[in-house]
Structure 1
Amino acid sequence: MKQIRYIIKATLLSAAIACTSCDDWFSIYPESEMVYEDFWADKNDVFSMLGSCYRGMIEPGFMERLIVWGELRSDNIVAGPNLSAGDDLQFLLEANVTSSNGYASWSDFYKVINYCNTLILYAPDVKDKDPNFTQEELDMYLAEAKAVRAFCYFTLVRTFRDVPYITEPYTDDTQNFYIAQTSPDRLVNTLIADLEACVDDANDRFPQLTYTKGRFTKNGIRALIADMALWQGDYQKCVQYCDDVLTDTKNFLALEPYSKYNYNVFIAGNSTESIFELQFIQENIPNYVVNEFYGRSGSGSTRNTYQKLSAYDLCQDNANSLFGETDVRKYDAFFKSGSAAMIPIQKYVAMRTESATGTVRESDYTIVSNSKNWVVYRLSDIYLMKAEALATIGTDLQGALDMVSKTYDRANPTLNAGSLQLSSYNTPDAMRKLVLDERQREFIFEGKRYFDLIRLARYEKSTENIVSNYLLRKYGNLDQSTTKSKLNTMDAIYMPISADELKLNSLLVQNPFYDISSDVTK
């Protein structure tokens, strides 16, 4: 496979180990021409390789795919003003998904997986060489590497469904490059078991805030297990791990107040509700992808010079209105000016200041140029994953409503707390619909929505609902029957395997929809 031929030969110059700050550590990236004998000498080498695992996740190719795979294909996104005809993003937004599209490449994820596999294989040997390297430190680093690897695989499974599961690092040209795909359910269950075995080895928190929020702690791994359990339909396990986070007394986790939510969570980063987020550094590793996809520095008049993606108007009419009049999140997410055709995305790129009038206005937002962290898990995830699990189990609908109310009440400060009433959502289906809508409101543009819709289709064992009621509305300018035919099978909601990967690995089997569809370039 293409990504497997990217060989990592061991890997960091000694000079790279001497980091001057926590932020520098997140910038570590492996050199490509070292030999193993020159590395893996002491615990600093293991620590540096762990830094490269995290560093790989903030590379542009990795970040682009987090947004494209998890957000762009959803009903939240339409084309922005700076998206050129013939762009791979444009093809995806026209439901013209082919195996030749650049975003069908998974190589950026397998590079990170290979870093993790390298650490997992060689780190134990270092303990025998370095008397200062304790078993506790080794176990903690291994837990983090396994969590990064699990997150990568979980994202790949939700995107492609059938992917190769590789646990050995590729270090030379003599190794087997031909690996078949693994059953997705088997793969995710293996990942869950792997993390359950090591979650207690992870650290609770670090002295540095950027490490506590930017590395996989116990709570980060618990959140990831809960997410995978929800995907697999293991709702009791999802509740269990959500409760482990909610009852944790070693870490202070709390929702930011609504007046500080926009700035603290998405602009400043590492907020009180953050569990795990990718750390970007303005001077060294700016978040180019968010700036280019959602908008960039300057006034509102210059934002469109950069913006590639725009928001679908989720407040366009009563039938499709997602946000109520009192919900402040709609302004933090996007702001429509009059009859403007393009709706700028606000989240991550616009900072809100308090309005003197008490009414949120477009002039209350300033486009910011600093690099924003990318939030992977925060406390809201825990509340709403638990809510979905409880709603699906169906025996504690009040408990599910209580979880939804945590985020809903924060976002509707002018309403009385507890404004959501069980009498309006007194069946499991109604409660699940409430949770789905609340997840869309809370996590819009955060790379989660399309995966939420796929999870719903898996639960319903049909794509009819997600296509007819959600996805089709973003393709209003296309022929609806043709577009529906492109989306209305379970195979079609996943991405195709890249044509390049198929040429390099004869054991890969293309997603059947893309193998037989006349709409797809073979």
Structure 2
Amino acid sequence: MNIKVKSMIALMALVLFSATSCNKYLTLKPQDGIIRQDFWQTKEQLAAAVNGCYASLLADPLVEKLFLWGELRGDMLGAGSGIKGDDVNVINVNINSSNGITDWSVIYKTINNCNTILDFGPGVLKSDNTLTQPVLNGYLGEAYALRALMYFYLARTFGDVPLKLKSTTSDADNLQIAKSPQADVFNQVLSDLKQAEGMVAKNYGNNDLNKGRITYYAVEATLADLYLWLNQYDNASKACDNIINSGQFTLVPGDANWFTTVYFQGNSAESIFEIQFNVNKLNPFYNMFAVSSKRFKAGLLVGSDIYTIDNVNIDNKDIRGDGAALKFSDASIYKYQGINASSTRASSASYAHWFVYRYSDILLMKAEAQNQLGNGQAALDAINVIRTRANALPSSAMVVQPTDKDGITDYLLAERAREFAFEGKRWFDLLRNARRNNYARLDLLLNIPSTTTDPQYQQAAIVKFRDQRSHYLPIFLSELQTNKALVQNPFYQ
């Protein structure tokens, strides 16, 4: 695994959070003896290391990877004039190990940050008598939860991946680590989240911190998501209820201020966890979506088929569609560049947050769990709550009976497409539902090439998608060269 030791291996200099500001910086000292002797001595140094974990989430190209892994193999993304060859190859299901999109190193840097805190943080309790056990537990819980989130992304994207649970703090550390099966990685994610569940805070006393740091509710949201992948629907529903019954979250009303409140300002009443870009650290999306040579745009049919259009009254629209997720006029992806439906950000203001979980996700994850538990009416009721808030058009509604489990699955996926367009969820939603019950809904993946893949590659893409091993990306070539214990994923051998 290419986790190289460079100045404390990705315990980054940027500090995201203090009680009043997200814009402070510090320099952390390097590894080996200096870590133990000079750095891990005070609760302030421990806090700085935790802040470094959050800062590493802003490192290029971490969020870009989360976007690409969650959207590029889905059915909603189209090519802009600035699209890269690696992007095209993923869209055309023509991927090999030299494709840079498969480079996972930035994710493992954040994991190593978390491992470092878990390894060295407890020792601060002995050296600083002003540090209390509850405060230490809170920091450790955040590290467990962030590590779990990173491994959750890796396991969903690559299947089997190396599990490294101890920090790399010396060039002498063993970096030759074999892959662990996806099931084992998911179990580790579950273990980490259960550890974090009883340790992290529910409230930091500050709205921005409550949305930008791991809270109990962020842990429950990740647990609910994981339980859906594990087919543990009762547990998924209960994790959602822990958020719903808290009374801490609500859907932002679907009025004229909805887009500005949720996407431009961020940290709204429906936010559970957002990666907090700011004026000092911009997100990667301006050049991807806003410039004339944009890398991506919305797929051709996203406006007309997913959100639909009222041809009689053009002012009657799903608020999530035109002027929100995208601009119907040119298919530009608008969610990260808009201030409101008519005003856009300057490049210097490209600091829209990355949404990990919102309250609408909780409602729809619970609906998915309830549908699988045989309570289809509860699932339909939740869909209707989301649609009502969004003024979803009747033309996008589906008439489904409560007993029609597959029909409700299709309706849920359609509603999730509208609600979370370009938020890095689409591929994972399709794969999670396709693989259930021994790939009983493989059709969800086989339908993708007809909407996104170049015609000359469509039949080959369908054939590839029939092989379950193709649903995970290959291991990047440089990782195989660096870590001789790694074996390429079977489909790409």
Q: By how many angstroms is 1:324 displaced?
A: 5.7
Partner of 1:410: 389
1:466 correspondence with 2:480? no
Query: In the TM superposition, what whole-angstrom CA distance separates every residue of 1:299-358 from its partner, at most 9, and x where no partner exists?
Result: xxxx324x21111023576xx555464422221112232xx5xx21111212335xxxxx
* TM-score relative to the length of structure 2: 0.91
2:204 aligned residue (200, 203, 206): 206
The 1:432–1:481 alpha-carbon spacing in structure 2 relative to 1, beyond 3 Å, is same
Q: Give the aligned partner of residue 357 of structure 1.
A: none
TM-score, normalised to structure 1, is: 0.86
| CA RMSD after TM alignment | 2.6
**Which residue identity is paired with 1:286?**
L
1:17, distance to aligned residue in structure 2 (A): 11
Identical pairs, percent: 32
Q: How does 1:18-417 map to 2 (within 5 A)?
A: 21-24=20-23, 30=28, 32=30, 35-36=34-35, 37-84=37-84, 87-249=85-247, 251-282=248-279, 284-287=280-283, 289-295=284-290, 303-305=291-293, 307-315=294-302, 320-323=305-308, 325=310, 326-331=317-322, 332-337=324-329, 343-353=331-341, 364-369=342-347, 370=349, 371-394=351-374, 396-412=375-391
Q: Which runs of no fewer than 5 residues in structure 1 stay unpaired?
A: 296-302, 354-363, 516-522
* 8 Å CA contact retained: 2:15, 2:51: no
Instruction: Return the offset for 1:367.
Output: 4.5
> What SS does the aligned partner of 1:330 have?
coil
Question: What amino acid is the match of 1:314?
Answer: L
Secondary structure at 1:23 match in 2: coil
Give the C-alpha shift of residue 12 in structure 1.
Answer: 7.7
Task: Flag the 1:12–1:344 CA change in 2: closer, same or farther, 3 A.
Answer: closer
User: 2:102, 2:476 within 8 Å by CA — same for their partners in 1?
Assistant: yes
CA offsets, 1:259-300, max 9 Å, x none? 322111111111110000000111x1111x1112222xxxxx
Q: Kindly indicate whether the alpha-carbon contact (under 8 Å) linking 2:5 and 2:169 is maintained by their aligned counterparts in 1.
A: no
Change in CA separation of 1:455 and 1:471 when aligned onto 2, cut-off 3 Å? farther
**What whole-Å deviation, never above 9, does each CA across 1:367-390 have from its counterpart, x for those lacking one?**
554211111101011001001111
How far apart in 2 are the matches of 1:128 and 1:321? 57
Letter in 2 for 1:304: S
Q: Distance in 2 between matches of 1:147 and 1:472?
A: 38
Amino acid at match of 1:385: M
Matches within 5 A, 1:401-480: 401-412=380-391, 424-462=401-439, 464-480=442-458
User: What are the Cα deviations for residues 30-69 of structure 1, in whole angstroms up to 9, with x where unaligned?
Assistant: 4546821110111111110001111111112101101110
Q: Equivalents in 1 of 2:243, 2:17: separation in Å?
A: 34
In 2, Cα distance between equivalents of 1:488 and 1:107: 29
After superposition, give the CA deviation of every residue in 1:204-246 in whole Å (9 maximum; x if it has no partner).
1112222110001010000011111111111111001000000
**Corresponding letter in the other structure for 2:55:** R
Which residue type is aligned with residue 294 of structure 1? Answer: F
Q: Which amino acid aligns with 1:235?
A: Y
Give me the whole-angstrom Cα distance separating, in 2, the residues matched to 1:310 and 1:280: 22
Paired with 1:231 and 1:16, the residues of 2 have a C-alpha distance of: 33
- Distance (Å, rounded) in 2 between the aligned partners of 1:150 and 1:511: 22
Shift of 1:29: 6.8
Deviation at 1:193, TM superposition (A): 2.7
Aligned counterparts of 2:169 and 2:159: Cα–Cα separation in 1: 27
Which whole-Å CA distance do the structure 1 matches of 2:99 and 2:438 have between them? 27
- In 2: Cα distance, 1:72 partner to 1:229 partner: 24
Change (3 A) 1:76 1:423: closer
* Partner AA of 2:337 in structure 1: V
DSSP 3-state at the match of 1:259: coil
* 2:483 aligned partner: 505
